[in-house]
Chains A and B, each alone.
Chain A
Amino acid sequence: MKKILVINNDIDTMSLLKNWLEKKSYTVKYTGNEEEVPAIMEDFSPHLVIADVMQHELVERLKKNKKTRSIPVLLMTGYTLRQTINRLPGDDIIEKPFNLALFEKKIERLIQKVVTINAAN
């Protein structure tokens, strides 16, 4: 089973995402506490991180860290301005409110990609 870590500051969003993703047969953990993230990354070792654009600084740190940089990050955003999106550190982006079919496709594609990369290693 593929594992997904959701990082957000909205508890409602996190628990709803967990509910929805578990129905798609993913194992989901979530946290609103950025300080917990490194430990969870270590223990849980997710195949994908879903984070809000508000946590872009945390995502940047994940992308700079040797241990975590190969893990794909899908950013959620409520902003629609393209110029803010260009500078963001994630691997892909999904706009709020979600188009769930697109959201699901993006999750699948990112997890697929990392599996291929890992297999090649």
Chain B
Amino acid sequence: MEVTPDLFSSFNYFETLFHNTVQNMVLLIDKEGSIVTVNEAFTNYFGYESKDIVGKNLAVLFTEEDQKNGMPEKELHNVLSKGQASDNNYLVSKDKSITWVSGESVLVENQDGKVSILKIIQNIHKQKLSEISLKNLNEFNENILSSIEDVVIVLDRHLNIVKANNAFSSLFRHTGPDIQRLNFADLIKPYDEFEELQSNIQNAITSKKGFSNSLIEMEIISGEKKIFDISCSSMPETDWESHALLVIHDITIHKQVEREREDVIGFVAHELRNPLANLVLCNEIMGDALKENNAEELNEMLQRSKNNVSRLNKMIAELYDATRVNSGNLKLDITLFNFGDMIREAIDTVEVLQPSYNIAVKGDGDLEIAGDRYRLIQVITNYLGNGIKYSNGQTEVILTISHDSKSVSVSVKDEGLGISAQQLPHIFERFFRAEKTKNLEGIGLGLYLCRQIIHAHNGKVWAESEEGKGSTFYFSIPR
């Protein structure tokens, strides 16, 4: 090959380039991959002396992993077969530290026709690191976004969706790159009756003032209706564009709890107003009786008025008790006592209030029990009171005590109305009252309270009943 004078004269230029560059590291490698020579920029950076490296295979510069993957051979093969190769990879310094480099190899031939490889490498470690950290940062941000359960959406000033997180697809029927063509105002149109939300977002973008606690009810993919709290903030301008960040938070469960609480309060108010209404009527009739000098009626009304006052009082006490039990504040006052004596006291209490009923006791209660005596009396008076309430004219209620080495059980049996099979599983629930017996007294918390008290004793409650024949209520607690 004839060397042109031009190239010949520029040899000095190349030589200068080879020796004096600081940024570009140059290696000359033979066809077999042995390093022939390296420039100062290379030795300076990688810490090798020329003698350390000249004559060695270029593989020594590669990481162990790259060596295993045959990277040095591939590079050699590429440049030998194609005349040129470029690649980015790690190179290992003498002190074993690694540097990310961009390398370009070309095939060169000298006057004697000897073919060598000229490899020029550039240190791009800093760029690589910032590239990696940028990638990590992006991934990190994406991970944050996708692990947020709330729906997060970025909108442009036309309310087109710029970005949305994974949760978005659980709310709206769109996924993937699809969502970038959607307009948020269109999506919410069916639920945003007066376009209030839409204009609020628009205002937030123009005025750069966000909003929060905007409620909207939407039907999600599953067909369920859910209530969401939407907050919107204006994002810092990028590329002269204003963006809004929306966070859509599902508050259905909180709303349900709120509604349930309202229902309970409504129900309780309704129940409390019954005896109050009776008192209003009593007073009115008493006024008339007074005018008519009707002492008999006056007396009767006075008695009924007293009954309604005590009924009100009982309801309030029950309610207060149940609130405490429900919030988990039922603290038992455990003492050791004679079970039979406790039963006797409970029966005495009931008999004072309901003298016309006969309570028969069966079984042996003469045993010591550790428990909350007052609370257990409450359960038994409740059971007996129920038996009497359901008694439907029958005047006998049977209380049976039985025990073995592990537990003691009490049953209260009446021959009254009975409870239907549909209602029986629910009788220990809060605010439950069998339809027919809604009259009389209580607020539907009595049996619920019993259950909570017995559960606190690690015991259990249950009931058996046959409509028209009567019911039996049970509890058992460990000894």
Contact = CB atoms under 8 A, between A and B. Distances in A.
Interface stretch (B125-133, B180-188, B276-284): B276-284
A100 B280 CA distance: 8
A16 B269 contact: no
A12 B278 contact: yes
Contact of B281 (A11, A17, A79): A17
Nearest to A95: B273
Given A16-B278, A84-B266, A98-B281, A9 B439 contact: yes
A71 to B, nearest CB: 23
Interface string A90-103: 00000111101000
B272 interface: yes
B271 interface: yes
Interface residues of A, number: 26
B277 A13 contact: yes
Contacts of A95: 273
A105 interface: no
Contact of A96 (B276, B285, B308, B439): B276
Nearest to B437: A9
Contacts of A97: 273, 276-277, 279-280
Interface string A76-92: 11111100100000000
A54 interface: yes
A79 B439 CA distance: 17
B295 to A, nearest CB: 16
A16 B275 CA distance: 11
A43 interface: no
A10 B274 contact: yes
B419 to A, nearest CB: 16
Contact of B273 (A12, A96, A100): A96
A10 B311 CA distance: 12
Given A12-B307, A54-B438, A78 B281 contact: no
A53 B284 CA distance: 23
Most A-side CB within 10 Å, residue of B284, B285, B304, B307? B284
Most A C-beta atoms less than 10 A away, residue of B272, B274, B304, B307: B274
A23 interface: yes
B285 A23 contact: yes
A112 interface: no
A32 interface: yes
A33 B417 CA distance: 13
B270 A13 contact: no
Contacts of A96: 270, 273-274, 276-277
B76 to A, nearest CB: 83
Nearest to A94: B277
B262 interface: yes
Contacts of B307: 12
Contacts of A44: none
B284 A100 contact: yes
Contact of A98 (B275, B277, B436): B277
Nearest to B308: A12
Interface string A26-68: 0000001100000000000000000001100000000000000
28 contacts: A9-B439, A11-B439, A12-B275, A12-B278, A12-B304, A13-B274, A16-B285, A20-B284, A20-B285, A32-B439, A33-B436, A54-B438, A77-B270, A78-B270, A78-B272, A78-B273, A78-B274, A79-B266, A80-B269, A84-B266, A95-B273, A96-B270, A96-B276, A96-B277, A97-B273, A97-B280, A100-B280, A100-B284
Interface of A: 9-13, 16-17, 19-20, 23, 32-33, 53-54, 76-81, 84, 95-98, 100
10 smallest beta-carbon distances between A and B, as pairs: A78-B270, A78-B273, A9-B438, A16-B281, A96-B273, A96-B277, A97-B276, A97-B277, A97-B280, A9-B439
Given A10-B439, A16-B282, 20 more contacts: A10-B278, A12-B278, A12-B308, A13-B277, A16-B278, A16-B281, A16-B285, A17-B281, A19-B281, A19-B285, A20-B284, A20-B285, A32-B439, A53-B270, A54-B438, A78-B272, A80-B269, A81-B266, A96-B274, A100-B280
